[in-house]
């Protein structure tokens, strides 16, 4: 049985990049022989400044989005990270057996902290330790993640391995990264060299899951391209970041290799290709957007799912936490 754990930061307005990069792949992991757990990692979101009311709304919206996109609470455990205190408690225990040198290697911290490292919050620095706890508190064996999280997952493996070794136990499996399908890295519609991002000032740089059909068509029509027609083969996309991005987006939506897309559209101008891409997106996204609107208007359904998810996650997490505490020499909790 594969125990699968993944997390996604709560952001209001999930865009097509988050969807194709993570959530769509999660939907496929809901198999009889897997045990998938998916969480909105609100504690990770706190490592950068957040408006409290916005964070709360974004967390609810992220959970509703997961459900609208096809994560089924009957087949997956859906929960909010902060509803399971064992994540934070295990993170503390791990922070006592993780050398600072391991964290000093983390490239994401270096990028996010930038030049003002002294002003960065301690939580941003120890973020990967909490992520290791998210995974290991469920003794997860497989972790679907994007390319940018591979280093953090490697750290989780190191923490698991060194813990087992230090205490002579076999408590934590070494979690495997699960990079699924075409690595879909969706770029901005305005600049094909920049990742599509919710923080981009221009809403025309991204397609949100909540955009309606007209807006999607308009954004695709206005997406930046170059004056050349589409090439007939993928090699012809070299040095054409915007064209490459649109072809990748089409390929991901149609679930075809880029070569097959170019076999159909090579030699043509962008206009008919963009029209077809917009149609494909609308067909795929409209049902999700509709279901998301329905769920946001019905908070009771989302709350019930979260209550169920938290109960199961807590039961699993508590067991691992208690075993870890005992292994490290903490006095057993009084019963009764
Ligand atoms: N750090 C991940 C990201 O930013 C989110 C995350 C937190 C996560 N905990 C996790 C992903 C555990 C996988 C497993 O994308």
Angle at CA 50, nearest 5°, toward 47 and 55? 110
Question: How close is the Cα of 152 to the center of ligand 1, in Å?
Answer: 8
253 alpha carbon – ligand 1 mean position (Å): 24
Measure CA of the first residue to CA of the last residue in the chain; give whole Å.
Answer: 34
Query: Rounded to whole angstroms, how far apart are CA atoms 103 and 126?
Result: 7
158 neighbors 129 (Cβ within 8 angstroms)? no
Helix (H, G, I), strand (E, B) or coil at 212: coil
C-alpha 40 – ligand 1 centre gap (Å): 9
Residue of minimum CA distance from atom 6 in ligand 1: 7
- pLDDT 10s digits, 45-57: 999 999 999 999 9
pLDDT tens digits, residue range 166-207? 999 999 999 999 976 555 688 999 999 998 988 889 999 999
pLDDT tens, 13-23? 789 988 888 89
Q: Is there a catalytic annotation at residue 224?
A: no
CA of 107 to the centre of ligand 1 (A): 15
User: What is the reported pLDDT for 165?
Assistant: 98
- Of ligand 1's atoms, which has the minimum distance to the CA of residue 128? 1
**Residue 108 Cβ contacting ligand 1 at under 6 Å:** no
| Stretch(es) of the chain classified as CATH 3.40.50.620 | 2-178+299-328
Q: The domain at 2-178+299-328 falls in which architecture? A: 3-Layer(aba) Sandwich (3.40)
Which CATH architecture fits 203-295?
Orthogonal Bundle (1.10)
pLDDT of residue 180: 67
pTM of the complete model: 0.92
Kindly report, as residue ranges, where domains of CATH 1.10.240.10 are found in the chain.
Answer: 203-295
d(CA 160, CA 149): 17
The residue with tokens 């029209």 is: 275
**Ligand 1 binding pocket includes 9 (Cβ within 6 Å):** yes
Contact between residue 323 and residue 171 where contact means Cβ atoms under 8 Å apart: yes
pLDDT, mean over the chain: 94
Examine the residue annotation and report whether 198 is marked as an active-site residue of this protein: yes
List 13, 110, 112, 150, catalytic entry: 112
């Amino acid at each position: 049985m594969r125990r699968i754990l993944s997390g996604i930061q709560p952001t209001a307005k999930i865009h097509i990049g988050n969807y194709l990069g993570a959530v769509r792949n999660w939907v496929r992991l809901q198999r009889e022989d897997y045990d998938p757990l998916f969480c909105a990692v609100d504690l990770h979101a706190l490592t950068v400044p957040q408006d409290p009311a916005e964070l709360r709304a974004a967390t609810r919206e992220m959970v509703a989005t997961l459900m609208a996109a096809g994560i089924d609470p009957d087949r997956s455990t859906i929960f909010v990270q902060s509803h399971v205190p064992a994540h934070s408690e295990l993170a503390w225990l791990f922070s006592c057996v993780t050398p600072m040198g391991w964290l000093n290697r983390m490239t994401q911290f270096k990028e996010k902290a930038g030049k003002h490292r002294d002003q960065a919050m301690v939580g941003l620095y120890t973020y990967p330790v909490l992520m290791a706890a998210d995974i290991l508190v469920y003794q997860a064996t497989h972790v679907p993640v994007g390319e940018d999280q591979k280093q953090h997952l490697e750290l989780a493996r190191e923490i698991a391995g060194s813990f087992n070794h230090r205490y002579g136990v076999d408590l934590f499996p070494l979690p495997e990264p699960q990079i699924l399908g075409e690595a879909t890295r969706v770029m901005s519609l305005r600049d094909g060299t920049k990742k599509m991002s919710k923080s981009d000032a221009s809403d025309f740089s991204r397609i949100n899951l909540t955009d309606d059909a007209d807006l999607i068509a308009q954004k695709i029509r206005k997406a930046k391209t170059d004056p050349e027609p589409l090439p007939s083969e993928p090699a012809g996309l070299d040095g054409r970041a915007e064209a490459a991005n649109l072809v990748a987006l089409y390929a991901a939506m149609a679930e075809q290799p880029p070569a097959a897309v170019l076999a159909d559209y090579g030699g043509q101008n962008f206009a008919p290709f963009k029209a077809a891409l917009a149609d494909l997106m609308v067909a795929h996204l409209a049902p999700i957007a509709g279901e998301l609107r329905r769920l946001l208007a019905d908070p009771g359904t989302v709350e019930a799912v979260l209550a169920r998810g938290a109960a199961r996650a807590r039961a699993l997490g508590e067991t691992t936490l208690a075993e870890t505490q005992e292994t490290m020499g903490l006095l057993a909790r009084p019963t009764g």
